[in-house]
Amino acid sequence: MRTHSILVILFDGVQPLDVAGPLDVFSAAARFTGSASTPPYVVRTASLGGETVRSAGGLRLAPDLDLADVEDPDLLLVPGGPGVGDVDNRLVTWLRERAPNVKRVVSVCTGAYLLAEAGLLDGRRATTHWASCDYLASNYPQIQIDPSPIFVRDGSISTSAGVTAGVDLAMALVEEDFGRAVAHEIARLLVVFLRRPGNQAQFSVPLSAQIARSDPLREVQYWAVANLASDLSVPAIAQRAGLSTRQFARAFAEQVGMTPGRYVDLIRLEAAQRMLTDTRDGVIRIARRCGYGTPEAMRRAFMRELGVSPTEYRRTFAKSSTLNPDPR
């Protein structure tokens, strides 16, 4: 495993959450991967002249570096905020000259303005905060603005919507670097939505389940996720935990924060969403693998939780390679 270097640009009027949200995600990754000698990410902040900036709301942020002295990072993060319309032209020039050398460039919220002004989004699909999409589209017609998704990834450049969407995008990057399991643990730690790949964040399943304190219940949680097609009725999993049905249901709800039945519903739905978007398996096969038994049972679950059928979900959010699924 190698360490990924991240550079965050600071300027007067930057939105603090645009900076802090993604940084919390990247710093949390160290809990679940890497070591003291090889951290997953090393994050540095920089401003013009290395000067302290006053963020929106008045919070002062002291950068680590002067932009003139930084080396090209693996990932460049450009936050937004009220100050994007008043930034020094030298910052835009720096982006125009240096960003093309960076493997991954990310903007949060109205940070897309700075990328657009630097010409980095020309000919690309992008997004920003919904309230700012019309302005960006009218002033930069060479950019294909999509106001719907929480984030858009087009080649080496990713743009995200409102401030909390920066967390979703950061989760996507962590998953890309270190896998779904690490992203899942970070989501639990930060008590945020478990981000789905691509444009699917608006239909995410809330990551409201906690990890049980007691070993038997915790092992049952992990076992259920790995054995979705098994009998996951309360009596069956209570027996696996070595408890009576009543004891198990009470302890599970207390420690996990939801009933066993609700937990099973969510992990099956999450797995079905992933299979619909990431595989070519047919609805019948996915329903069987996820423990629904029949496509109709899975359809009812999707309509109840997401308001769309499995077929509609796949048609809207599937990767291009899965748009013609195996009918079985």
Which residue did the predictor score with more confidence, 192 or 114?
114
Q: Specify the amino acid at residue 205.
A: V
Asked whether the predicted pLDDT for residue 202 surpasses 90, the reply is no
**Catalytic residue (one of 17, 109, 173, 271):** 109
Q: Is-contact 45 22, C-beta < 8 A?
A: no
Residue 324's pLDDT band, with cuts at 50, 70 and 90, is: low
pLDDT per residue as tens digits for the range 90-110 = 999 999 999 999 999 999 999
Q: How does strand 4-9 pair with strand 75-78?
A: parallel
Q: Which residues contact 205 (CB under 8 A, 6 or more apart)?
A: 193, 194, 266, 269, 270, 273, 305
pLDDT per residue as tens digits for the range 240-254 = 999 999 999 999 999
3-class state of residue 147 by DSSP: coil
The rounded distance, in Å, linking the Cα atoms of 171 and 25 is: 7
The predicted pLDDT at position 323 comes to: 56
The predicted pLDDT at position 322 comes to: 56
Among 151-160, 186-195, 232-241, name the one with the lowest average pLDDT. Answer: 186-195
The predicted pLDDT at position 256 comes to: 86
Asked whether the predicted pLDDT for residue 205 surpasses 60, the reply is no
Among 276-290, 297-311, 312-326, name the one with the lowest average pLDDT. Answer: 312-326
Among 111-115, 275-279, 288-292, name the one with the lowest average pLDDT. Answer: 275-279
The predicted pLDDT at position 85 comes to: 93
> CA dist 46 to 7, 29, 133, 245, 284, Å?
7, 22, 27, 57, 52
The rounded distance, in Å, linking the Cα atoms of 44 and 23 is: 10
Closest CA to 316 of 327, 325, 308: 308
Which residue did the predictor score with more confidence, 205 or 327?
327
Asked whether the predicted pLDDT for residue 220 surpasses 80, the reply is yes
- Quick one: DSSP state of residue 56? T
Asked whether the predicted pLDDT for residue 222 surpasses 90, the reply is no
Which residue did the predictor score with more confidence, 182 or 157?
157
Q: Which helix (H) or strand (E) holds 26?
A: helix 16-28
Chain centroid, CA 205 distance in Å:
12
Task: Say whether 133 is catalytic.
Answer: no
> CA dist 256 to 18, 127, 197, 207, Å?
31, 36, 25, 11
Q: Is-contact 56 83, C-beta < 8 A?
A: yes
Residue 190's pLDDT band, with cuts at 50, 70 and 90, is: confident
Asked whether the predicted pLDDT for residue 48 surpasses 50, the reply is yes
Q: Is-contact 149 130, C-beta < 8 A?
A: no
The predicted pLDDT at position 33 comes to: 86
Cα-based torsion angle of the residue sequence 295, 301, 306, 312 in order, rounded to the nearest 10 degrees: 10
CA-based torsion, 200, 202, 203, 207: positive or negative: positive
The predicted pLDDT at position 18 comes to: 96
Q: What's the rounded mean pLDDT across residues 6-13?
A: 98
